Structure 1
């Protein structure tokens, strides 16, 4: 096996040097040496920081690709005391934070902040203090560690979430057609929607093209409907006909067929790639992007890890970055296609484009399918379908071949793995590839890490591989999981506490549009493991309540931990001096209110680089 050579830590190319940020942190936590502590007092550190900031801003003004920074200086404070959760190393709470030109330059009490004009001359005669409403709190900008931006925008065109039966879903497609004259009058126009979930329907069978074409309004139209977990497509006969002929079989996927061997209109996992779909226009992509960003801002998201950028999506985000500052931070995982030539040594990572808001320095590899559609790779057959243990979407030899290559060439490797067998095989590949390597510099990730043996949980912690998990999946899947896996194996599923106790670092996401984009839904699910109405198969205490996270762990899991998982912990993820001023104002204190009130929390304001992009303060 080839030796892995380390590449520099790309990190976040902000204007604040990494060493400067580290010195600030050390000074505040008492970790600096006594000599440094004597020389670099708090005020001294602040002055050094501001000098560096001033020089860097001058440099940025000379660059045509970056906009002039805002001159805005203000403090955000609470009249009720320390209601700002900084999420620093010690989870400190503060009363005020001072923002200058998009960065945090001071934290402290209201009294301390009011006296800053003596030490910070640029403030002027008086500091602009913005008070948050009574009862509200401030947290760092929230990150979703695993979402799909453009796919979310597409799903909002014809959302199928919540339909109760096949017929209910067909009726929603019919209503969409009748409600849109441009669609109704053009029978050749592709109709695309998503979010249907067969696990909540009374029938255990799959939907088919015949179900769609039984409706006279739908019949003869090309219809493509993505499943809730994005691992299945339900399509009409017209959509199938435009893609024929299909191969007899496809590795890592299933073409569902009837007794005569004809496709029924359902394609699972890799078989989805067989369907020919219309090419998206720039206006299509832009419309989807705007919908996703607007909703993200309204929910307090300032950063999204896009889990699987295909070439079209990545090219679109690059074009948007070239046009100027992106409206949200995007950490992209570039899609790996095993049928294409290896590109890790010929492709340059995108680092900090769009005024530092677009980075694509990782690769996303799919190991297996999904539990919901029975494609997750298990060691033993499914309890409710003993004929299959699921399947791998690619041969394990591919993992052992490409993972060390990508790591060698400086790419973070993120692998989708759901079933216990898939996670075991991926960890085998990681273990073989990480021998003698600085894991902190590479930070490989398991995307989902849903079901693992106890031995593999321990190995995950030992190897230092990050577990990127989605708490809302747990409260969605808990209703059918035991039927699918049996009473013993199900204990290995969504075992978040066991992962942490094994020494693993986890980071939280939603996998939207599979689940709600609302990060507070994930926070609630992580600490309660009950449905929004307070129920679970194990009662009101939660589904396997011993696997719950604490509120502090959940808050860190959607702020500083995603920053670490995207190499930006020195500039994002907490409200500390020297970091970018990304923050969210929440209407109530999610760290103390009763759990059943968390989902009623409103986002009063979302700020990126100190600029409020949603709400007001």
Structure 2
């Protein structure tokens, strides 16, 4: 990115910064440098100036300033109010922030925005722990509200918190869903997006029989007699959904556009200005382009194209497919106009570690309860999960991607999936000198402790859904006991990654989880559930130390930008970078961590343009 000449002629604020300093996520102190940014006399006036603020830059030393000036979508100066004053002209818009905190716009390194937009209007179970009867009652209400639909039209229900279905161990089946007062096909999507339940009408419409083979990346769950139960895991789930009738191409395009519109409005309200679509389809790309055409695109984006194991088995063709999509759907962007970058693949190396799915690939078997709920006896069972990409296949596809200037974002939940993925990355690193290759391992829910240090050694980035690191039904009820006492210490960790030198990035995984960036930041530090509904959900999760506030903020900003190869443009507030920033209602560095979740975004600015303003934030 070429900087204007008058920016390039300013005195440099910092001396040479060692590589270790660039990893300054360990920095907890902030550096006040209000006397270090002289303003060039020849600099033209700013278009927007924020004054009387605490500008937390997230630069290499977490510098703090009082004011920031913006022109042409770029940050042109930082300093005290007095130092920035010469940049205020007759046309400059000035905002007095009354000591409020300014920080970089949040960068969400793993989400599914169109699915999130669709979730906002879908029939939803709202991620709540419900009994079977309550689930059926909720869906029945949806069916009544949807009463004008044709008999063969499918109902897709979202946000089923499968691991928290009451009582413990309860699960949906086709037989249970057949109690619903409808002949329509009904599918109920688990909130993890890796399992789904369908009624008999959905199973029949999808052509699933007792003899239907499992896909290479999923499972049709069957009972002891070989009959499909109505539960579908990973690739089998999409096999069923793909059988649903689709609207006309024009109608579907309008639906996708509406979902994209709702998604960007929701993320802007959270303070997000850049995101990764972690499993993109052509439909997502078209919706993003349509949204830009109508002037409603208010987030920068990188899209990762999903490759199945079958597609990756032809690595040259798979890489060429991504390059072709990039040629067709890339949206060139600049400071003022957010674009779309398509430069990486999404690979599901395994499934999910939580029971009852247990498709996350583990080195040693999951524990199972050989006793009862009242008198549990946890001991190793037989199940070790599913590795959808073995090391050889993963190495081949990564090699093909890197050879063509592409990168990879990989779903890894179990310790075996993480270990195999790091092995493949190590092999590819030995073959290629490729600075653009910033392999991301998403989720990393259970890890072999010997692999922590390999992230920093290999330049691999753990993209963590930090909100999962708390006592809750999906950790305490299932994940912790099924790991056994030794592995339980390495469940949903964050501080241990940081202690090993890893560059942690954040990804919300919305709509697998609710969109609440600030709750996730709080949990990253406290490791506590702010709303424990039962005694067992109180206290911290495990012995992980969590993150400090400076490290957490970097995970949501500059580190996530680095994971997307965008740290030269976004992720910190520095002269010459895009003016993507937010104003929030509290100083995150000066409040108890338990108050972070209550943070309110007052203003979101993208390239110097206001894209969200809270009603409570006066003009």
| TM-score interval, normalised by the smaller of the two chains | 0.7 to 0.9
TM-score by length of 1: 0.84
Choose which of 341, 344, 352 in structure 2 pairs with 1:359: 341
Per-residue deviation at 1:383? 0.6
Return the offset for 1:29: 1.0
For residues 117-168 of structure 1, give each alpha carbon's deviation from its aligned partner in whole angstroms, at most 9, with x where no partner exists: 5xxxxx34x743201245x311110111110011112222122111422221
State the partner residue of 2:50.
76
Deviation at 1:550, TM superposition (A): 0.6
Give 1:62's aligned residue.
none
Question: What do the CA deviations read for 1:508-557 (whole angstroms, capped 9, x no partner)?
Answer: 11111111212101101100110123699888652235430010001011
Question: For residues 568 and 605 of structure 1, do their structure 2 counterparts lie closer, same or farther at Cα, with a shift above 3 Å needed?
Answer: same
State the match for 2:407 in structure 1: 412
Residues 225-256 of structure 1 deviation map (CA, whole Å, 9 limit, x = unaligned): 21111001111211111111452333332211
CA–CA distance in 2 between the matches of 1:544 and 1:320?
43
Query: 1:25, 1:414 → 2: CA distance?
Result: 38
Tell me how far apart the structure 2 counterparts of residues 604 and 548 of structure 1 sit (CA, whole Å): 27
Aligned to 1:168: 134
Q: Which residue of 2 aligns with 1:30?
A: 15
Partner residue in 2 for 1:474: 469
Residue 250 (str. 1) matches residue 215 (str. 2): yes
CA distance in 2, matches of 1:147, 1:351: 19
Please tell me whether residue 137 in structure 1 is matched to residue 101 in structure 2.
yes
Q: 2:526 aligns with which of 525, 528, 539?
A: 528
Partner of 2:392: 397
Residue 96 of structure 1: aligned partner: 67
Q: Which residue of 2 aligns with 1:194?
A: 158
- Does residue 277 of the first structure (1) align with residue 244 of the second (2)? yes
Q: Structure 1: state its 5+ residue gaps.
A: 1-13, 33-40, 51-70, 118-122
* C-alpha distance in 2 between matches for 1:131 and 1:453: 50
**TM-score normalized with structure 2 length:** 0.84
Partners of 2:484 and 2:577 in 1: how far apart?
A: 47
| 1:301 to 2:285 alignment | no
State the distance in 2 between where 1:357 and 1:20 align: 26
Aligned residues: 560
Contact 1:331 1:358 in 2 (8 A): yes
| Distance in 2 separating the partners of 1:151 and 1:550 | 32
Alignment of structure 1 residues 451-470 onto 2, 5 Å: 451-470=446-465
**Greater mean alpha carbon deviation, residues 241-250 or residues 219-228:** 241-250
Q: Which residue of 2 aligns with 1:379?
A: 363
Match of 2:320 among 332, 335, 345: 345
SS of the residue 2:389 aligns to: coil
Structure 1 distance, partners of 2:235, 2:6, is: 47
Inter-partner Cα distance in structure 2 for 1:211 and 1:25: 69
Distance 1:535 1:114, change over 3 A: farther
| Counterpart mapping for 1:194-343 below 5 A | 194-201=158-165, 202-216=167-181, 219-246=182-209, 247-275=212-240, 276-279=243-246, 281-321=252-292, 326-340=297-311, 341=314, 342-343=317-318
Paired with 1:442 and 1:567, the residues of 2 have a C-alpha distance of: 9
Question: 2:318 & 2:56 partners in 1: Cα distance?
Answer: 42
Q: SS state of the match for residue 486, structure 1?
A: helix
Among candidates 427, 432, 435, match of residue 432 of structure 1: 427
Aligned pairs for 1:537-548 (under 5 A) are 542-548=540-546
Distance 1:214 1:591, change over 3 A: same
1 CA distance for matches of 2:72 and 2:143?
Answer: 48
Counterpart contact for 1:269–1:393, Cα < 8 Å: no
- Kept in 2, the 8 Å contact 1:377–1:421? The answer is yes
Contact 2:47 2:70 in 1 (8 A): yes
1:192 match: secondary structure:
strand
Instruction: Name which of 485, 488, 497 aligns with 1:487.
Output: 485
Distance 1:26 1:550 in 2: 32
Partner Cα separation in structure 1 for residue 561 and residue 133 of structure 2: 43
Q: Could you say what the CA RMSD is over the residues aligned between the two structures, in angstroms?
A: 2.8
Are 2:73 and 2:608, in contact at CA under 8 Å, matched by a contact in 1?
yes
Distance 1:562 1:282 in 2: 30
Q: Give the deviation of 1:74 after TM superposition.
A: 1.7
CA contact (8 A) 1:198 1:204 kept: no
Which residues in structure 2 correspond to 1:46-85 (within 5 Å)?
Answer: 73-78=47-52, 83-85=54-56
Residue 25 to residue 589, structure 1, CA distance change in 2 (3 Å): farther
